[in-house]
Structure 1
């Protein structure tokens, strides 16, 4: 999941450097080997992110602060009821817990106690906004005024693209501002995806 957070941070920095607002939702073409690998992992995963979260909480009760698919495994970060941080790893094909370790965690990471919307609910909202396979959710502070809590989510869409979304940690609303995130996309693509729209994560 550290790799995924680095990618998101890099994208955010690039947007800010360009003078735009923080991208809440980015669309990437699957042109690179890494994108193809991610898509293959998503297809091969028999266990969904919600199932992985439920299983991980059984192994280390607490509050999930992040979960991601990496190297055919689900990695789930939990702030335990015992006050410790736990990293739980599961096989993405079988759902079997392969390791549970205590972690020092990230002292700068926001507390999931302040997020009414759980990781599983954020994943559900992301998948409702962009049909496909949710491969990552991570609690973080949003850029901009107030630094509100958000879930950063990644979805391998049914359209063959990787989508990065931001889910409000209080309302479950999915902010969707598509931006050109790959050099392989044309200027026309960038203009077509220039408008922002909001998706309500509620199912009702």
Structure 2
């Protein structure tokens, strides 16, 4: 009798406060089981919310990378290099997609007299938008930077694999966003950056064989 009065009193108090009353069974074991089940359901709901948040975040990051890749249009790095060399003959040293504003490919070309040009290519059509000579390409300078530039130019001219071929080789790893020469302690090779399925890759392409390997220094 006293037990029933206590249960009735607790139930009335919970209803008066606007709370949710857990069903009390006649035995203590049943009440404990009901409370344990409620706790399990709450934890499952929390875990589901956490998983949903993680999935949404991952999807957002991947979508951002996909939009960036799409902005390059149908013109590949190899296409941009070919268009630049047709407009400004010489040796292509680098190609880079500049995604500021409307976005353009920018190809660095050095001509036979040592003059260096930045040739801009439209990513959608492959049209040459302009070519600007680099005012800092003074071949008479003895600075370390100019010396490195001359060494890279010599390496590119003597290579069996040019910038366009390096871009084509790296394209097997994903969409190429940048290609250029990299001097690693005197060992010069082509270096390329790619994006595939929202993931970025760094690669080296041998000047002689065109073999593509992962750039461990950038891993």
TM-score tier, shorter chain, comes to 0.5 to 0.7
Q: Report the 3-state secondary structure (helix = DSSP H, G, I; strand = E; otherwise coil) of the residue aligned with 1:117.
A: coil
Q: Does 2:177 align with 1:139?
A: no
Q: Report the 3-state secondary structure (helix = DSSP H, G, I; strand = E; otherwise coil) of the residue aligned with 1:138.
A: strand
Which whole-Å CA distance do the structure 1 matches of 2:62 and 2:216 have between them?
Answer: 18
Instruction: Please tell me the root mean square deviation across aligned C-alpha atoms, in Å.
Output: 2.7
Query: RCO (CA 8 Å, sep 6+): is it higher in 1 or 2?
Result: 1
Show the counterpart of 2:17: none
Q: By how many angstroms is 1:165 displaced? A: 0.7
Q: Does 2:207 align with 1:156?
A: no
- The partner residue of 1:101 within 132, 139, 142 is 132
Higher strand share: 1
TM-score (norm 1): 0.62
TM-score (norm 2): 0.59
Show the counterpart of 2:30: none
The ranges of structure 1 where at least 4 consecutive aligned residues each deviate by more than 6 angstroms after the TM superposition are 33-36
Over 3 Å counting, the alpha-carbon distance change for 1:152 and 1:34 in structure 2 is: farther
Q: How does 1:46-125 map to 2 (within 5 A)?
A: 46-71=74-99, 72-103=103-134, 104-105=136-137, 107=146, 108-109=148-149, 110-111=152-153, 112-125=156-169
Show the counterpart of 2:70: 43
The unaligned stretches of length 5 or more in structure 1 are: 1-30, 182-204
Q: Report the 3-state secondary structure (helix = DSSP H, G, I; strand = E; otherwise coil) of the residue aligned with 2:165.
A: helix
Higher helix share: 2
- The partner residue of 1:169 within 194, 200, 207 is 207
Q: Report the 3-state secondary structure (helix = DSSP H, G, I; strand = E; otherwise coil) of the residue aligned with 1:83.
A: coil
Over 3 Å counting, the alpha-carbon distance change for 1:70 and 1:34 in structure 2 is: farther
* Structure label with greater radius of gyration: 2
Over 3 Å counting, the alpha-carbon distance change for 1:99 and 1:41 in structure 2 is: farther
Over 3 Å counting, the alpha-carbon distance change for 1:94 and 1:38 in structure 2 is: farther
Is the 2:62–2:198 contact (alpha carbons within 8 Å) kept by the matching residues of 1?
A: no
Which whole-Å CA distance do the structure 2 matches of 1:73 and 1:34 have between them?
Answer: 23
Q: By how many angstroms is 1:83 displaced? A: 2.6
Q: Report the 3-state secondary structure (helix = DSSP H, G, I; strand = E; otherwise coil) of the residue aligned with 1:69.
A: strand
Q: By how many angstroms is 1:177 displaced? A: 5.5
